[in-house]
Structure 1
Amino acid sequence: MLPHILKDNIEDIFKNIIDALDAGLSILNKDLHIIWSNKILSDMLNLKYNPIGKACYDVYKCGCSDITNCSVLKMLSHGERQYSETQLITEKGERQYIKNISVPIRDEKDDIISLIRFSIDVTEKEEKIRQLSLLRKLSELMHGTLQIDRLLHLILTCVTAGTALGFNRSRLFLVDKERNIVYGKMAVGPSSWEEAYKIWGEIANKYERLEDLIRASEDNYRDDTPLHMITRLMAYSLTDEKELIVSCIKSKKPILEKNAFYNPNINKKFVSMIDANEFVCVPLIVKEEAIGVICADNFYSCKPITEEHVQLLSTFASQAALAIENAEAYKKLGEKIQQLGETQERLIRSERLAVIGNMAAYIAHEIRNPLVTIGGFARAILRISDQDNQTRQSIEVIVEEVKRLEKILANIMDFSKPYEPVKILSQINEILENTCSLMEPYFKSGNIQLTKKLDTKIPKIIMDSTQMKQVFLNIIKNAVESMPDGGMLTVETMPEGQYIKINIIDSGKGMSAKTMKNIFTPFFTTKMDGTGVGLAVSQKIVDDHGGYIKVNSSLSEGTTFSIYLPVKKEQP
């Protein structure tokens, strides 16, 4: 038996216990209508009305209508306590998780006459679980992406996606060790209020799965948005530790700025470009070295950035940094494999040219002596005047064919004989000007219109001028021969990275894919009187200069030969 004082105050004691548990409480009749509830429940469910007399599913927003889904109906059916969970979205757009426990109330005959429903806010616990699951999923997505630009976009999408970290905008800065700067690489997020509402209203509802949202974001990504373009303009010296972004890199710690507009210790130019009073900068750290920074804010929603958000973003950033390092390593490995393939191809080509050259030299030497003898006797016979016309014509054919064979032999000897290049600092434009002047009569006779676009700012490079002129002569001669009825020939120079690029473009008949595959093969030719050594020699010369040749051609659409010669700083 309860003491008298407890009996008189049982309701207050019961209420105090419930309040101490910080739990919402309601009592439902067998018709599942609420007959009593406490204030905590109304606050927890954000009820704008008195729940007394309301149906269970109207108050708890569970939408249950059958025993297979409704925990309360299950309890009434089985007589055992039941557990369920309700997920709500607050007025601020935040998730809220409510755990409900339904317990039967019985009479003296052990019949269920009503039930009590406890509701406990487990948002914090569920958010922790969700965050761990989210980080695992994001890590899998990042580490499964090895294309660097796609990975960087994926990282920023994860920072801004409502189903992920949920910031409004994110920027990515990377460290450039060679230039000793940190610079803006990419940005993702709305550039206006209208765009922000569109993203929240349409995209968030349309793509429930994070993978679908990321894929859609990739398809619709634009690099001409104001946010991205402004970010690309941002660059700071790593020696200027007063810059907040540099300080983040040097300290290797996140920086949460709550009042940037009025903080006298922050560079106002940086703040004006970020255009947010509150933001967070988190370093990307790999092997105790900062390789970049993620900067995020909630400019549109004005949702406060808490220490918990900073911690979650920092954990994500550590995984993102590892993914970036893996992607960079994969990229470098691909470049090394490509370089190895090119080196192997050059080695094979050089060996093939050497073997063919030796063989050609031997054959040319063996053929030259009998050919000279034949040619000498044929010319001597031709000088005899008492020959009939048919005999003279036959001898003239022999002399002409000998001349042709002698020309072929000369080309083969040029191909096979060793030549020691003499490389000096030279201007490629001057060599092209001289080559074009030399071939001017050839252009006029072939009705070729020449256009020169020579960049006067390209530097001098170390090369053998004589050999390079031979390369240009070979390629230009081929270009003119591809335009038997005349056409347009364009010669242009331009800088391209660590190379000078020379384009020789014709409007001729072009080449098939099969022809393009074999044009640098020695003795391959499509001409009736060609030897097929000109382009092979040209490629070897360019290779010996540390450059390479690219060809782009289509039938009836002309051909472009692009010659790349390295810009070397050292003197010969």
Structure 2
Amino acid sequence: MNNELSTFNSEKVTNKLRSILSEHKGMVLDESILSKIDVICGNIEAELKKEGIETAMLFKDAEQSKKLKNFEERRQQERRKNDNITDVIGIGLCLLDKDLEIIWTNKTICDWLDLKESPVGSCCHDIYHCSEVGTENCPAMNVFKGGSGRIIETWITTKEKKRMCVQHVATPITDERGDINNVLMLTIDATESEKIVHRLLLLQKLGEAMQGTLHLDKLLHLILTCVTSGYAFGFNRAMLFLINKEHDVLNGKLAVGPSSPEEANQIWQDISSKYTSLKDILDELDHSYNIDTPFNTMTKLMVFSLSDGREVVASCVREKKPIIVKDAANDPRVTEEFRNTLGANQFVCVPLITKDEPKGVIVADNIYTGEPITEDLVNTLTMFAGQAALAIENAETYKRLADKMNQLTETQHKLIRSEKLAIIGSMASYVAHEIRNPLVNIGGFAKSLSRFKFTDQKIKANIDIILDEVKRLEIILNNITDFSKPPIPEKINVQICEIMENTCTLMENYLQERYVNLYKEFEPDIPQILADPTQMKQVFLNILMNAVESMPNGGDLTVKITTVNKSIKIDIIDTGKGMTKESLKNIFEPFFTTKPHGTGVGMAVSLKIIEDHGGNINAESEWGKGTTMSLTLPTN
């Protein structure tokens, strides 16, 4: 009986196995095939035990035992092969049942989530720490309900203590009837994609900030702040050089960064406590962009010839591509002078390129933290440098346009003033001519009468009054004539200090009479200029006389002569009563005067003379404190 049952069941097992293998001939033994075989073997084994027959009796036949053993080995090989494949594809896999319990995972997800024990049998929430579990947003639950699983993106910390951005995607697993029995959760490493998105958003924000800034100094500070901010590129230090086309050199313009490790730690602590985002830092730049540090001062003194092939910054501009220096001490592209000045063994040079034309270069390093400078970081910095170059070009264009507008406005004001002076001068000349003839007659008759001896002293006094007023009118007419027809300056090489010295000498007695103390501060080695000495003396006399007359009770008068930006500056400072804002506004208007006996042409004539010499006059005054008249004249 036992032998018959054994034979029957042996044939039964063999037929079923042969049927399954034949059905899946040429195919990889996946989990569904293996599970069918397991079910068959399990059923037959249970049936035999129920009949009291040991499993081993089923396979007395040596050939059948050998086949089953080979089959088991193939089964184990396929299982290991499948496990190896799922472990090396770089994606975390987790199989869930309808109760969201884990029935299988691959090694990748266990490593990423730093699981110490097998998660099989646990709820998926226990390993994913997902807040959407049991809600309508749960991707696995949505899939079981026939919906489409949404993607969940989150950050995890791997067992190597690295931050990783991952995306969890739910995929349905159906049987032959199309029913969803399981859900496969795919966990994909999206860190690099997230970094790219972050960099693109960062570039967008920085680009918007730069394009909204047209003040060049502020823009340069903003650019280097972005390069050094931990919320952006995070370099320790950065320098910016711009091309000077006129001299074919690179000039250091600005540097941002600490000058020592102690200063670096202090700055980073202050920034972390004061600012919570890049926007906070950029907003602060609206209030301050002047940097007075040794590192910045050193950078502004640096000048490199673009034709010097030894300098790495010049090479970066010529080649129009970034240069990463990883060992400055042994890199032939880095000169000893630049290496010693910078002090960093690893740095990067990134060109500022716009419309295929170089504008300058950014140099950045991590001298204090020692963080490596990666290719990805340099690539992003290069894209940022392109935006920065465009912003710099816009700022420079705006500055040139603003300068031209200022020149145009100044020229227009001069033209209007010249036209006004011409009209007034023409009218003054006519009036002077018409008055001069009767005035001469009046003066002549008055002088004739003064020769007679009158017994009545009142008549003699009246004649003297007429003579004095005639003299005063003659002076006024002479001033008007000078104003209406200013002579063309006859310029020669003169020493302005000598002309001022001579003018002050002429006024010595007058100053003493008015109790005015004169102080002279002349810078040594003032260069000669082309000027008309007579007209210069006239200007100095006009301004000095006005200054003395503003101090009726005495005071201090200071004359300073210095050189400023290829110009000679003359400051005449008094401690008089000063001027009101209204008077200061009209000081150069013809015939405007605050003096009871003034003609109001002195300052107008003085301004005209200085402008004819290519210079300018600026007046600053405060009521009750005094006035400063500043004259600028170009050097030869």
TM-score w.r.t. the length of structure 1 is 0.88
Determine which of 33, 40, 44 is the counterpart of 2:112: 44
1:372 offset after TM fit, Å?
Answer: 2.1
Matched residue, 1:329: 397
Distance 1:36 1:220, change over 3 A: farther
Question: Partners in 1 of 2:440 and 2:125 — Cα distance?
Answer: 110
Amino acid at match of 1:255: I
1:280 aligns with 2:332: no
Matched residue, 2:522: 454
Question: Partners in 1 of 2:122 and 2:464 — Cα distance?
Answer: 118
The number of equivalent residue pairs is: 567
1:2 aligns with 2:42: no
Which 10-residue stretch deviates more, 13-22 or 359-368?
13-22
1:477 offset after TM fit, Å?
Answer: 0.6
Matched residue, 2:64: none
Which 10-residue stretch deviates more, 556-565 or 82-91?
82-91
1:343 aligns with 2:411: yes
Matched residue, 2:377: 309
Determine which of 513, 519, 523 is the counterpart of 2:581: 513
Determine which of 597, 614, 620 is the counterpart of 1:546: 614
Which 10-residue stretch deviates more, 263-272 or 472-481?
263-272
Amino acid at match of 1:558: G
Amino acid at match of 2:553: D
1:371 offset after TM fit, Å?
Answer: 1.7
Question: Partners in 1 of 2:296 and 2:522 — Cα distance?
Answer: 34
Matched residue, 2:504: 436
1:193 offset after TM fit, Å?
Answer: 3.8
Per-residue displacement from partner, 1:463-490 (whole Å, max 9, x unpaired)? Answer: 1011011111101111111111111111
SS in 2 for 1:145: coil
Gaps of 5+ in 1: none
Matched residue, 2:293: 225
Matched residue, 1:128: 196
Which structure's relative contact order is higher, taking Cα pairs within 8 Å and 6+ residues apart?
A: 1
1:298 aligns with 2:329: no
1:93 offset after TM fit, Å?
Answer: 10
1:424 offset after TM fit, Å?
Answer: 0.5
1:117 offset after TM fit, Å?
Answer: 3.2
Amino acid at match of 1:301: T
Matched residue, 1:497: 565
Gaps of 5+ in 2: 1-31, 38-70
Matched residue, 1:85: 153
Asked if the contact 1:79–1:112 (Cα under 8 Å) also holds between the matched residues in 2, the reply is no
Asked if the contact 1:34–1:51 (Cα under 8 Å) also holds between the matched residues in 2, the reply is no
Distance 1:443 1:205, change over 3 A: closer
Matched residue, 2:67: none
Matched residue, 1:141: 209
Per-residue displacement from partner, 1:356-414 (whole Å, max 9, x unpaired)? Answer: 11111110110111122223333444444335344444443333322222221121112
Distance 1:379 1:28, change over 3 A: farther
1:109 offset after TM fit, Å?
Answer: 12
1:190 offset after TM fit, Å?
Answer: 3.7
Matched residue, 2:60: none
1:525 offset after TM fit, Å?
Answer: 0.6
SS in 1 for 2:421: helix
Determine which of 248, 252, 266 is the counterpart of 1:180: 248
SS in 1 for 2:33: coil
Asked if the contact 1:378–1:398 (Cα under 8 Å) also holds between the matched residues in 2, the reply is yes
Amino acid at match of 2:632: Y
Asked if the contact 1:60–1:86 (Cα under 8 Å) also holds between the matched residues in 2, the reply is no
Asked if the contact 2:309–2:315 (Cα under 8 Å) also holds between the matched residues in 1, the reply is yes
Question: Partners in 2 of 1:405 and 1:51 — Cα distance?
Answer: 115
SS in 2 for 1:367: helix
Which 10-residue stretch deviates more, 505-514 or 19-28?
19-28
- Counting only pairs closer than 5 Å after superposition, residues 183-222 of structure 1 correspond to structure 2 as 183-197=251-265, 203=271, 207=275, 209-217=277-285, 219=287, 221=289
Determine which of 443, 457, 466 is the counterpart of 1:375: 443
How large is the RMSD of aligned CA atoms in angstroms?
3.3
Question: Partners in 2 of 1:251 and 1:461 — Cα distance?
Answer: 45
Question: Partners in 2 of 1:400 and 1:314 — Cα distance?
Answer: 82
Matched residue, 1:170: 238
Determine which of 552, 556, 559 is the counterpart of 2:627: 559
% identical aligned pairs:
50
SS in 1 for 2:208: helix
Per-residue displacement from partner, 1:332-356 (whole Å, max 9, x unpaired)? Answer: 1110111111111112211211221
Distance 1:89 1:427, change over 3 A: farther
Question: Partners in 2 of 1:44 and 1:194 — Cα distance?
Answer: 38
Matched residue, 1:22: 90
SS in 2 for 1:277: coil
